[in-house]
Chain A
């Protein structure tokens, strides 16, 4: 079945935010918003969950720190303990202060790169992927609200259009996919 998607364009982030609040209060489901910069406060209104990337970052960091400690313990204590200036490497804990810099750097390395990769994959942003924003102007100065007819079966497309018009849109388009 063909899906009808409604694109309502605004030229101001604040107008879009207020419009979204009114529409949602009437029971309209806004499926997404495209904007040239983050519109603060839109996520709770249209029901976008807060990202869990922060938790991922913590887990990557934990992995990095653990790997660095296991590695250094193996290289410096287990496999080939060095005696440097009469200060032999007896145990991991006794030598830990000298190992902190590398453990720290490796933790940061794993956290940053792990998180960046997860971010790119989750956003589906990778080299060569096509752009999926509805209009080129959404990366310039336009703010577009996306509504799906199937998610708003309570309302007809005309009803949605008149409700959107009240919120101060500058353009309106229905696409069938």
Chain B
């Protein structure tokens, strides 16, 4: 049997058995939801409805109800799109990349991180969808024969690459997540006593048996999907960044965008995973599975990716001066000293300075501090996209058309609304789905469980 080094901290605390793991994960699903759950879902539900109302108003009236003008023709919509897509990177990174690297700490967090990914990508996809205005013709982005003669979508365009990248990423993440869920739904099915719920979980579990051949196939499917999802996760945000990088707008026309966007995405995604997990582990009593060590590992990923983002900001700044192109230099001088300097410096503080505090072990193992930081990072990452998009556009080549962007209530309503929908979906997930990958956590119990590790040390 595989043994883990004794000096590695255990990933499953307490004296757990296989049955305890099932109990701990299934209890919240089988028992009544706490009052806090109803309170939270009511709040997020109301926010969601407000957001949906704003979306319907936008679709009914046209995108003129946004604060866009002829100079700033992309603003919060694309900012929110890139922000959500970025957040949606952590789930697949955790489950795919960490699976390939055989990191066992991913097993307690991958299920909820993948759920978060899927919900975040749905929120992201909303924005380009409604930005079309006439969403009922959104199928025009697909290369399908049409009545306009030989009119095809342009495969040279990053906007079309985006269509393929986002739809592939969404559907592959969904399948990857669901294949992992099937055996765990079977566990709930086999325990459930209420007939209706048993029927529902029976349908969801697809008749899973868990025989040797099925597990053999399960492992190879997980491995191959992880192998596919790894380049996929890097390709998606690289492609999103080319929406900007292949343009000729000073401030966007930057070759470092793909790696810079990808690390920014991982950075914000891990922050969102922390925001959700820190609350979830407490409310659902999962402290023995999502341990302080897990939080510390995630904070280390945040330092690394945050530092890459910081280096990217400084590189951009340096190159804009070093290039000697005055339009390029001005775009950056305007960023840090123009009318949007407050946004630039918020971004710098939240993304570059604050994650560096995680070098201090006391801080990165402090859960309250981590929670606050996880929100700070996501505010910073929203500002990053806002800075890139709006401050590069609002002062264009002709000073007479210089302007500012002011969001309308529709801009704000839709953004807040997507946050509401996202949290509603996550609350539903936490209530009805197994939030830990049961089968995977069980498979590491003997290797990384606290009680097993202690008894091993006795023998030696």
User: Residues of A with Cβ closer than 8 Å to B?
Assistant: 14, 32-40, 42-43, 46, 48, 50-51, 53-54, 57, 71-72, 75-76, 79-80, 82, 84, 89, 95, 98-99, 101-102, 104-106, 108-109, 111-113, 115-116, 119-120, 122-133, 136-141
Q: Say yes or no: B168 contacts A106, CB within 8 Å.
A: yes
Q: Say yes or no: B190 contacts A140, CB within 8 Å.
A: yes
- Residues in B whose Cβ lies below 8 Å from that of A40: 2
Supplied contacts A111-B224, A119-B217, A131-B208, 18 more A-B pairs, CB within 8 Å: A32-B211, A34-B209, A36-B18, A39-B215, A51-B217, A57-B224, A75-B153, A104-B231, A106-B168, A108-B231, A108-B232, A109-B164, A109-B172, A116-B179, A123-B213, A125-B205, A132-B207, A133-B210
- Residues in A whose Cβ lies below 8 Å from that of B217: 51, 53, 119, 122-123
Q: Say yes or no: A140 contacts B19, CB within 8 Å.
A: yes
B171 interface hit (Cβ, 8 Å):
yes
Complex Cα distance, B191 from A141, in Å, reads 12
Given A105-B164, A108-B168, the answer on whether A37 and B220 have CB atoms closer than 8 Å is no
Q: Say yes or no: B155 contacts A76, CB within 8 Å.
A: yes
Q: Which of B152, B183, B217 has the most CB of A within 10 A?
A: B217
Q: Say yes or no: A53 contacts B235, CB within 8 Å.
A: no
In the complex, what's the smallest C-beta–C-beta distance from A87 to chain B, in angstroms?
A: 9
Q: Say yes or no: A133 contacts B168, CB within 8 Å.
A: no
B202 interface hit (Cβ, 8 Å):
yes
In the complex, what's the smallest C-beta–C-beta distance from B169 to chain A, in angstroms?
A: 8
In the complex, what's the smallest C-beta–C-beta distance from A42 to chain B, in angstroms?
A: 6
Give the interface size class of chain B. Answer: 35 or more
Q: Say yes or no: B156 contacts A37, CB within 8 Å.
A: no
In the complex, the chain A residue whose C-beta lies closest to that of B160 is A102
In the complex, what's the smallest C-beta–C-beta distance from A10 to chain B, in angstroms?
A: 12
In the complex, the chain B residue whose C-beta lies closest to that of A75 is B152
Q: Say yes or no: A35 contacts B215, CB within 8 Å.
A: yes
In the complex, the chain B residue whose C-beta lies closest to that of A46 is B212
Q: Say yes or no: A115 contacts B225, CB within 8 Å.
A: yes
- Residues in B whose Cβ lies below 8 Å from that of A84: 154, 156
In the complex, the chain B residue whose C-beta lies closest to that of A82 is B154
In the complex, the chain A residue whose C-beta lies closest to that of B238 is A101
Given A84-B156, A136-B190, A140-B191, the answer on whether A36 and B439 have CB atoms closer than 8 Å is yes
Complex Cα distance, B150 from A125, in Å, reads 43
- Residues in B whose Cβ lies below 8 Å from that of A102: 155, 160-161, 164
B443 interface hit (Cβ, 8 Å):
yes
Q: Say yes or no: A48 contacts B190, CB within 8 Å.
A: no
Q: Say yes or no: B190 contacts A139, CB within 8 Å.
A: yes
- Residues in A whose Cβ lies below 8 Å from that of B439: 36-38
B175 interface hit (Cβ, 8 Å):
yes
- Residues in A whose Cβ lies below 8 Å from that of B190: 131, 133, 136-140
Given A127-B206, A137-B190, the answer on whether A101 and B239 have CB atoms closer than 8 Å is yes
- Residues in A whose Cβ lies below 8 Å from that of B154: 76, 82, 84
Complex Cα distance, B212 from A119, in Å, reads 14
Q: Which of B143, B190, B209 has the most CB of A within 10 A?
A: B209
Q: Which of A39, A127, A130 has the most CB of B within 10 A?
A: A127
B186 interface hit (Cβ, 8 Å):
yes
Complex Cα distance, B165 from A125, in Å, reads 28
Q: Which of A36, A112, A115, A125 has the most CB of B within 10 A?
A: A36
Q: Say yes or no: A111 contacts B207, CB within 8 Å.
A: no
Closest 3 pairs between A and B when the two form their complex, measured CB to CB: A129-B207, A136-B190, A141-B18
Q: Say yes or no: A105 contacts B168, CB within 8 Å.
A: yes
B311 interface hit (Cβ, 8 Å):
no
Q: Among A37, A133, A141, which residue has its beta carbon within 8 angstroms of that of B17?
A: A141
- Residues in B whose Cβ lies below 8 Å from that of A42: 212
B216 interface hit (Cβ, 8 Å):
yes
Complex Cα distance, B176 from A122, in Å, reads 17
- Residues in B whose Cβ lies below 8 Å from that of A108: 168, 172, 228, 231-232
Q: Among A98, A127, A139, which residue has its beta carbon within 8 angstroms of that of B186?
A: A139
Complex Cα distance, B215 from A123, in Å, reads 9
Q: Say yes or no: A80 contacts B152, CB within 8 Å.
A: yes
Given A39-B215, A53-B221, A106-B164, the answer on whether A34 and B210 have CB atoms closer than 8 Å is yes
Given A53-B221, A79-B150, A131-B207, the answer on whether A101 and B161 have CB atoms closer than 8 Å is yes
In the complex, what's the smallest C-beta–C-beta distance from A34 to chain B, in angstroms?
A: 5
Given A99-B155, A115-B224, A139-B190, the answer on whether A38 and B216 have CB atoms closer than 8 Å is yes
B203 interface hit (Cβ, 8 Å):
yes
In the complex, the chain A residue whose C-beta lies closest to that of B242 is A101
- Residues in A whose Cβ lies below 8 Å from that of B205: 125, 131
In the complex, what's the smallest C-beta–C-beta distance from B401 to chain A, in angstroms?
A: 23
Complex Cα distance, B206 from A84, in Å, reads 49
In the complex, what's the smallest C-beta–C-beta distance from A12 to chain B, in angstroms?
A: 9
In the complex, the chain A residue whose C-beta lies closest to that of B187 is A139
B106 interface hit (Cβ, 8 Å):
no
Given A105-B168, A131-B209, the answer on whether A123 and B150 have CB atoms closer than 8 Å is no
- Residues in A whose Cβ lies below 8 Å from that of B213: 32, 48, 51, 123
Q: Say yes or no: A136 contacts B191, CB within 8 Å.
A: yes
